Structure 1
Amino acid sequence: MLKNIIGGIAIGIANVIPGVSGGTMMVILGIFNRMMDAISGVFKKENSHRKDDIIFILQVLVGAAIGIIGFAKILEVLFEYYPTQTIYWFIGLIAFSIPLFIKNEMKGERLAIIPFIAGLVIVFGLEYLNPGEGKTIVNPDFPALSSNLFIKMMVMGAISGATMIMPGVSGSMVLLILGEYYLFKSYLANVTSFRLDVIMPLGFMAIGIALGIVVSAKLCQYFTKTHKAGFLSLILGLVIASSLVLIPFDVSYDVGLVMTSLVAVLFGGAIVYGLSKLQ
């Protein structure tokens, strides 16, 4: 139970950061296939493990909610004072998970070149379209409550939920490209105020997230069963490209920054290694 909640927290944190994928975090934690099976199992007519599947999903979702809400401000502090080292920490998490993914998920499967290249192109394309996050300003003046706002929040939630499952595709980056990321972060930053104009839109977004997760999980499980080598090769391309596009090339490096960034990468690798031992 505790391990699933902690894993959910890591997934939630990943989903807040543009460029970092919650699905990639599932791969790192070794629960990607378990989550796909659990979501699919809930809707099966005959499933003797339905209760266990529901409990597993709820534990991960509780952890994800804690990660998204509870760590949003901590991450803002890290990015304010240690932005480069924080990015390299996530690069370490992703990069060191790649050999584990190949060993555990792709064992016995040959690399399919075209899906692999497609995965690279998708992430590089999103990065090319990404306007850059810049400095996030939390705006307390939220849109007036309306049916159009609720529909928009459900669509945003569906996109976030679908990309939350897919490794290598960052839901926050997609929202950033669509111009809705700042509104999303503003709602999250003010959720503890329990204002109606914050809680209601987030409620509709939660509905969209649930729908997006279910649809995405169904698609992932279908392609895993029918086109396993191609689908896993696509995921591998997504994950590898995710570690590359995060590299901050626009930073002025000195000896101190290089050393601390290297430590951050190794720290990310140590976390992946420790988590792999827990599986």
Structure 2
Amino acid sequence: MIRTIIGGIAIGIANIIPGVSGGTMMVILGVFNRVMDAISNLLKRDNPNRLADLLFLGELLLGAAIGLIGFAKVLGYLLSEFEVQTMYWFIGLIAFSIPVFLKAEVKGKGKVKGLPTLIGMAIIFALVYFNPGEASDVHVVYPDVSVWLCVKLVLIGAIGGASMLLPGVSGSMVLLILGEYYLFRAYLANVLLFQLNILIPLGFMGIGIILGIVISAKVCGYFLKHNHDATISFILGLIIASTLVLIPLDAAYDMNLILTSFISFAFGGVMVMGIEKIAG
């Protein structure tokens, strides 16, 4: 139970940062297929493991909520003060997860196909191309709560939730492209104020996120079952490209920054190897 909650916290933290994928974090933690199966089977009439699936998803969602809410401000500080090192830490996590992913999904089951891999990479590069870039959430103004706002947030949450589940695809980056990321992060960072103009919109966005996750899991589960090699290759392309696009090319590198960035990258790799060893 504790292990699942901690994994959920890591997934929640990953989903806060534009460019970092919660789905990739699931791959790193070795729970991607378990999550797909649990969500996909949850609504089936004949599912003897429904209670176990519910408990597993509940623990994971609890951890994700803790990660999203509890670390929104912490990560804001890290990205503000140590942006390059923080990004290289995540690059290390993602890069070292690729062999883990291939070992789990390809070895003895199939082979990687070139075209689906390239398509997956192209989607990530397209997301980065349409990324509106940096902006400030310091002066976010909460909109008035209305029916239209609630419907809009359900739709936005569904899109973000669907993208959060795919390895390599950053749900936060998708929200950034939609122009709703900074409002979403402001809601999360201030949820403990318990103001209705924050809780109500966040609740409707949460409903949308759950719907998006369920739909995404159903679709992904179907393709994994009926076209395993192409789907795995597509996901591999997403992961590879997400590693490349996170590299801070515009940073002012000096010897100190290079050294600390390398240490952060290596730390990410050590974490992946440690998690793989614990997972057995």
The TM-score normalised by the length of structure 1 is: 0.98
Q: State whether residues 137 and 183 of structure 2, in contact with CA within 8 Å, keep that contact through their aligned partners in structure 1.
A: no
Q: CA deviation at 1:135?
A: 3.6
Any idea what the Cα deviations from partners look like across 1:148-201, whole Å, max 9, x if unmatched? Answer: 100111011101210111111111101111111111111112111110000000
**Is this contact kept in 2: 1:133–1:176, CA < 8 A?**
no
> Percent of pairs identical after alignment?
58
- Structure 1 residue 113 displacement after superposition: 1.1
Contact 1:130–1:177 (CA under 8 A) maintained in structure 2? yes
Q: Structure 2 counterpart of 1:136, which letter?
A: D
| 1:130 corresponding residue in structure 2 | 131
Give yes or no for contact 2:136–2:182 (8 Å, CA) kept in 1: no
> In 1, Cα distance between the equivalents of 2:149 and 2:52?
36
5+ residue gaps, structure 2, are none
**Structure 2 CA distance, aligned partners of 1:133 and 1:111?**
35
The answer to which of 87-96 and 152-161 deviates more is 152-161
Amino acid in the other structure paired with 1:179: G
2:44 is paired with a residue of what secondary structure? coil
Q: 2-side partners of 1:181 and 1:155: how far apart? A: 14
Q: Offset at 1:73?
A: 0.7
Q: Which residue of 2 aligns with 1:51?
A: 51
Aligned to 2:23: 23
Root mean square deviation, CA, Å: 0.9
* 1:131, distance to aligned residue in structure 2 (A): 1.6
Separation (CA, whole Å) in 1 of partners of 2:142 and 2:132: 22
Instruction: Quote the offset at 1:133 in angstroms.
Output: 2.8
- Once the two structures are superposed, residues 87-135 of structure 1 have per-residue CA deviations (whole angstroms, 9 ceiling, x without a partner) of 0000000000000001111123111111100000000110111121344
Q: Distance in 2 between matches of 1:251 and 1:165?
A: 30
Query: Does the CA contact (< 8 Å) of 2:125 and 2:241 recur in 1?
Result: yes
**Residue 94 of structure 2 is aligned to residue 107 of structure 1:** no
**Residues 127, 245 of structure 1: 8 Å contact kept:** yes
Q: What amino acid is aligned across from residue 46 of structure 1 in structure 2?
A: D
1:147 aligned onto 2:147: yes
Normalised to the residue count of structure 2, the TM-score between the two structures is 0.97
* SS of alignment partner, residue 38 of structure 1: helix
- Say if 1:40 and 1:217, in contact at 8 Å, map to a contact too: yes
Counterpart Cα distance in 2 of 1:176 and 1:170: 10
Counterparts of 1:204-223 in structure 2 under 5 Å?
A: 204-223=204-223
User: Which whole-Å CA distance do the structure 2 matches of 1:36 and 1:138 have between them?
Assistant: 38
1:177-196 pair list within 5 angstroms:
177-196=177-196
Shift of 1:138: 4.8
Which consecutive aligned stretches of 4+ in structure 1 deviate over 2 angstroms post-superposition?
133-136
Q: What is aligned with 1:165?
A: 165
Between the two proteins, the alignment pairs up a number of residues equal to 278
Structure 1 gaps, min length 5: none
Match of 1:80 in 2: 80
Correspondence 1:235 to 2:242 = no
